[in-house]
Structure 1
Amino acid sequence: MTTTTAPTIETASGVIGVAGALMAALSAHADLPAPRITSEQVVAPDRDDSGGLVLTWGLAFGFHRDTALSDFEQWRQTLGIDPAAVDHGSTGTHAWLSVDTAYAGTPLTLTGYYTLAQDDPGEEE
């Protein structure tokens, strides 16, 4: 059985590292498309001494506009993330590309959301 250890953060000082990584990313890449930014608990890349999963604070950059895939790709290329590391998911007509990395020692997830094209029911094949 795998246990999960969550960090106890009771004050804002517990997320200073995340804020620093955010400022570093935005300052270094101010010309890139603006993402929707959230800070959330994510699974750390390491495990605790008992082999359990460790949660840590990380960043998520989401892209939702009609340019979401282009915006996602610009960030992916700029951060030097291998295209083979990108995951694809979909449900119904909604889909996304997602990749996990780290920036300034902080876990970072990039996700580009888009709508799948629907076949026109009036068209014949």
Structure 2
Amino acid sequence: MTTETTAISPPTIGGQLPAIQALSALAEQHPTLPAAYITVQEPAPRYNTDARLDVQVDGPAFEAWRTALGADPAAVVLHTTVSNTWLAVDTTYEGVRVHLAGFQGPLSRAQVDAPRDTTAVSA
């Protein structure tokens, strides 16, 4: 038995390159998408995860981004809290994982009480 430890090299920007290239391709293919807050997450080899993109948009821009990313409308999830409401979907684009979130204010009482099913949602 040895006391050697296996060192994991820290992630580099080179590991983020696939996500950066996917973002570049998205911008080239869809130059009129509304601006977004985008972060490129570093790969985490220890957890067997590659680099990914996290995209946050204002609520009205969500559908345009969802469509451009090719995310399945049935995969969209509505999240609500007392003070916030957002739609979110996880998808892949150009082989890179993408998390898209569209934020807006709280729902009205009528919106909270309205019946929902995925066929009535445009996103």
Q: Which has the higher contact order (CA 8 A, sep 6+)?
A: 1
- What is the match of residue 60 of structure 1? 54
What is the TM-score when the length of structure 2 is the normalising length? 0.70
- Percent identity between matched residues is 33
- What is the match of residue 20 of structure 2? 19
2:11/2:42 contact within 8 Å kept: no
- Of residues 107, 110, 122, the one that matches 2:100 is 110
Q: Note the residue ranges of structure 1 that are not aligned, 5 or more in a row.
A: 1-6, 44-52, 120-125
Q: Distance in 2 between matches of 1:78 and 1:24?
A: 11
- Of residues 89, 106, 122, the one that matches 1:99 is 89
1:10 correspondence with 2:11: yes
For these two proteins, the number of residue pairs brought into alignment is 102
The secondary structure found in structure 2 opposite 1:75 is helix
- What is the match of residue 74 of structure 1? 64
Distance 1:8 1:104, change over 3 A: farther
Distance 1:12 1:69, change over 3 A: same
The secondary structure found in structure 2 opposite 1:56 is coil
- Of residues 53, 74, 77, the one that matches 1:84 is 74
Deviation at 1:9, TM superposition (A): 4.2
Partner AA of 2:71 in structure 1: I
Q: Distance in 2 between matches of 1:57 and 1:108?
A: 9
Structure 1 residues 29-72: Cα deviation after superposition (integer angstroms, max 9, x where no partner) = 111111110112589xxxxxxxxx63221001101xxxx22201
Q: Distance in 2 between matches of 1:97 and 1:12?
A: 29
The secondary structure found in structure 2 opposite 1:55 is coil
Structure 1 runs (4+) deviating above 3 angstroms are 7-10
- What is the match of residue 37 of structure 1? 38
